[in-house]
Chains A and B, each alone.
Chain A
Amino acid sequence: MRAAIAHLVRRHPEGGTVTLVVLISLTFAIVTGGSWLSTGNLQSLSQLTAVLAIMAFGEAIVIATGQIDISVGSVSGIGALTFLGLAPVVGSGFGLVAALLFGVLIGGINGVFVAFLGIPSLLVTLGTLFLFQGIGYAVTSGFSFAASNVVRKQFIYNGFGGGTVAGVNTGVIWALTILVVLQLAVFEMPVGNRLLAIGGDAASSFSRGVNVTRIKFGVFVVSGVLAALSGALDAAFIGYADGSFGAGMELSAIAAAVLGGCHLAGGRISLIGTLLGAFILRGIQSFLIILGVQPQWYILVVGLIVVLAGLADRTLTRLVLKR
């Protein structure tokens, strides 16, 4: 019996998360008398989940190599400000490209320091978290960017978070597309095999001829571009962004990944689990809002969940690795 469970957990690391999703969905639906499951709430929940999930996917890829990227909150802020700031001037297409390029740039900076100079990722990305938050505040200096009516009619703006398709926000479609692409890259392609190998044992991977430096650099670029995209998608949905945009999102992104079954030590991740982790966090957030609980309590709940997820993670790892 125990062996059977171990086998199941080993093959399906997101199993626990799926169970949790079902449990909280049922509980929230019952407690709120069905309003948690209303179309309106599910629409807003799916949009919120999508933007968090896209950021968390990048985080999961970084965690896969045994690193961490806590700059994603600020990067999403820069993405949002660039997109909304440039869209009225150069159009939303070029605005989006510029936002993504900033993501590549900041991810690249993180990557150079971590992969090429060997500085711990926690330190580097903590630095860029503050650096780009500061730049965000400095650029807006008390002002904010809002999407004009012209911009709101543009195809790219609607295609990237500003509009809906059959009632579903376009950001949700992007999240699912990115999930499929990353799922294939990480679990079905050689690059994914090497990425996970680095997280498991970097020295062994290197001895097998894996280009550890290049892959470590690459994951930070991916994380940067996804965080910027997440910010742009969310900004298009809200239609408004100021210097505080994305602040604190990095914690939710890390929590979503951990909750989804990504091991912070590296080498084991689940992207489907990460999506579900994002859904759980956003679900709790919307549940608290419906209940009329002050939003500050959400942070406390996230903290609690991360600690509990860490504990469960440890227990499961032990179970799985027992011979």
Chain B
Amino acid sequence: MITGSDGQSRPAGSPKKPLISIKNVGLSYGNFQALTDVSVDFYQGELVGLVGDNGAGKTTLIRIISGIIPPTSGEVYFDGERIIKFHPKKAIDLGLECIQQAIGLCDNLSVGRNYFLGREPVRRILGLPFLDKKKIREASAKVVHDFGLRDSVDVDDEIALLSGGEKQTFKIARAVTFRNRVIIMDEPTNHLSVRERTRVNELAVQLKQQGLLVIYITHDIFQIHRIADRIVILENGRKVTDVPRDAMSAEALEGIIRDGSRTSTKEPKVS
């Protein structure tokens, strides 16, 4: 396996300083250890595939990165600065957008209001912040149009009226159109048609080419192997593999996932 002396690999020619640095992070829910001593660096302009079986700790890791839960041990650095206070607002302000499977949209709100939730544009009248409804409508209508949602979608309609695929596309659209530095995609192609899936994967590559860091979570190693620069595999809450895409075939990586932590881990097993 081709990895650096620290057990990590980094893309050739990328700046040395990682944008996000996870150092010895652990997280436990009561007695359950969801993550154990995970260290991984993410660099700007990289598309990293975060892979692992169900319950491997992928979603837990990105929940920490996006500020939803604080780790119980270890440190997280963003652009060299250590993160002390974990809150989604902080992550969003730092330019980190996470597209999650189950959450991110409020069914009862209109398309436009969902688009701007948490960072609503305002017009001040007598010093009071009123929603800039014109801007909300225009900006969200443009996104709906640019990302090829149905023409019949009215941005004043509740988002519950969109289909699953449309909602997913909308979430990605929202993540893309606000200027961000990091896009995390958590199983973005679940429940999508083949065509929609191809489109999402193309978008992920485009974002990377624009210089963003894209962390792509999936359990489909073959799909991610085609587009990622680097593959990180988690297994039972531990990082077991971290290799450039070219270093291993998708089949070999699949073998690692299938065989669990019995193979390939460099860390000595603690009994």
A189-B131, A204-B106 known; A10 vs B158 contact (CB < 8 Å): yes
Q: How far is the CB of B163 from chain A (nearest CB, A)?
A: 8
B131 & A207 in contact (Cβ 8 Å cutoff): no
Residues of B within 8 A of A190 (CB): 120, 122, 129, 131
A189-B128, A193-B113 known; A209 vs B106 contact (CB < 8 Å): no
Residues of B within 8 A of A196 (CB): 106, 108-109
Contact with A along B70-106 (1 / 0, CB 8 A): 0000000000000000011101110000101011111
Chain B CB within 10 A, most for which of A201, A207, A268: A207
The yes or no answer to A16 lying at the interface (CB within 8 A) is no
A210 & B118 in contact (Cβ 8 Å cutoff): yes
A207 & B108 in contact (Cβ 8 Å cutoff): no
Residues of B within 8 A of A205 (CB): 106, 117-118
A321 & B160 in contact (Cβ 8 Å cutoff): yes
A204-B104, A209-B92 known; A193 vs B66 contact (CB < 8 Å): no
Q: How far is the CB of B42 from chain A (nearest CB, A)?
A: 20
A200 & B129 in contact (Cβ 8 Å cutoff): no
The yes or no answer to A243 lying at the interface (CB within 8 A) is no
Residues of B within 8 A of A2 (CB): none
Residues of A within 8 A of B88 (CB): 206-209
A209 & B129 in contact (Cβ 8 Å cutoff): no
The yes or no answer to B192 lying at the interface (CB within 8 A) is no
Bound-complex Cα distance A20 to B8 (A): 69
Bound-complex Cα distance A210 to B119 (A): 9
A193 & B119 in contact (Cβ 8 Å cutoff): no
B108 & A208 in contact (Cβ 8 Å cutoff): no
B129 & A207 in contact (Cβ 8 Å cutoff): no
The yes or no answer to A79 lying at the interface (CB within 8 A) is no
B109 & A197 in contact (Cβ 8 Å cutoff): yes
A194 & B118 in contact (Cβ 8 Å cutoff): yes
The yes or no answer to A231 lying at the interface (CB within 8 A) is no
Q: How far is the CB of A216 from chain B (nearest CB, A)?
A: 15
The yes or no answer to A273 lying at the interface (CB within 8 A) is no
The yes or no answer to B130 lying at the interface (CB within 8 A) is yes
Question: 8 Å CB contacts to B: which residues of A177-198?
Answer: 184, 188-190, 193-194, 196-197
Residues of A within 8 A of B246 (CB): none
B108 & A268 in contact (Cβ 8 Å cutoff): yes
Bound-complex Cα distance A321 to B87 (A): 32
The yes or no answer to A277 lying at the interface (CB within 8 A) is no
The yes or no answer to A141 lying at the interface (CB within 8 A) is no
**Among B100, B119, B160, contact of A207 (Cβ-Cβ < 8 Å):** B100
Question: 8 Å CB contacts to A: which residues of B143-182?
Answer: 157-158, 160-161, 163
Q: How far is the CB of B44 from chain A (nearest CB, A)?
A: 23
Q: How far is the CB of B114 from chain A (nearest CB, A)?
A: 8
The yes or no answer to A199 lying at the interface (CB within 8 A) is yes
Interface residues in A, total, Cβ within 8 A: 27
B108 & A189 in contact (Cβ 8 Å cutoff): no
Residues of B within 8 A of A204 (CB): 103-106
Closest A residue to B156 by beta carbon equals A11
Contact with B along A204-243 (1 / 0, CB 8 A): 1111111100000000000000000000000000000000
Bound-complex Cα distance A199 to B68 (A): 19
A189-B128, A190-B129, A321-B160 known; A209 vs B119 contact (CB < 8 Å): yes
Residues of A within 8 A of B160 (CB): 321
B106 & A201 in contact (Cβ 8 Å cutoff): yes
Residues of B within 8 A of A323 (CB): 161, 163
Closest B residue to A7 by beta carbon equals B157
Q: How far is the CB of A34 from chain B (nearest CB, A)?
A: 43
Residues of A within 8 A of B116 (CB): 193
Bound-complex Cα distance A31 to B250 (A): 80
The yes or no answer to A85 lying at the interface (CB within 8 A) is no
A193 & B117 in contact (Cβ 8 Å cutoff): yes
Bound-complex Cα distance A320 to B100 (A): 26
Residues of A within 8 A of B91 (CB): 209
B128 & A200 in contact (Cβ 8 Å cutoff): no
The yes or no answer to B202 lying at the interface (CB within 8 A) is no
The yes or no answer to B138 lying at the interface (CB within 8 A) is no
The yes or no answer to B251 lying at the interface (CB within 8 A) is no
The yes or no answer to A77 lying at the interface (CB within 8 A) is no
Closest B residue to A11 by beta carbon equals B156
Closest B residue to A268 by beta carbon equals B108
The yes or no answer to B107 lying at the interface (CB within 8 A) is yes
**Among A10, A184, A208, A211, contact of B117 (Cβ-Cβ < 8 Å):** A208
Residues of A within 8 A of B89 (CB): 209-211
Q: How far is the CB of A264 from chain B (nearest CB, A)?
A: 13
6 nearest A-B residue pairs (beta carbon): A267-B108, A200-B108, A209-B89, A200-B106, A208-B118, A190-B120
18 CB-based A-B contacts, threshold 8 Å: A10-B157, A188-B131, A188-B133, A189-B122, A189-B129, A189-B131, A193-B113, A193-B117, A194-B118, A196-B108, A200-B107, A201-B107, A205-B106, A207-B66, A208-B88, A210-B117, A320-B158, A321-B158
Measured CB to CB, the residues of A under 8 A from B are: 10, 184, 188-190, 193-194, 196-197, 199-201, 203-211, 266-268, 320-321, 323
Measured CB to CB, the residues of B under 8 A from A are: 66, 68, 87-89, 91-93, 98, 100, 102-109, 113, 116-120, 122, 128-131, 133, 157-158, 160-161, 163
Q: A204-B104, A207-B66, A323-B163 are in contact. List 10 more A-B contacts (CB 8 A).
A: A188-B130, A189-B131, A193-B109, A205-B118, A207-B88, A207-B103, A208-B88, A208-B92, A209-B93, A210-B117
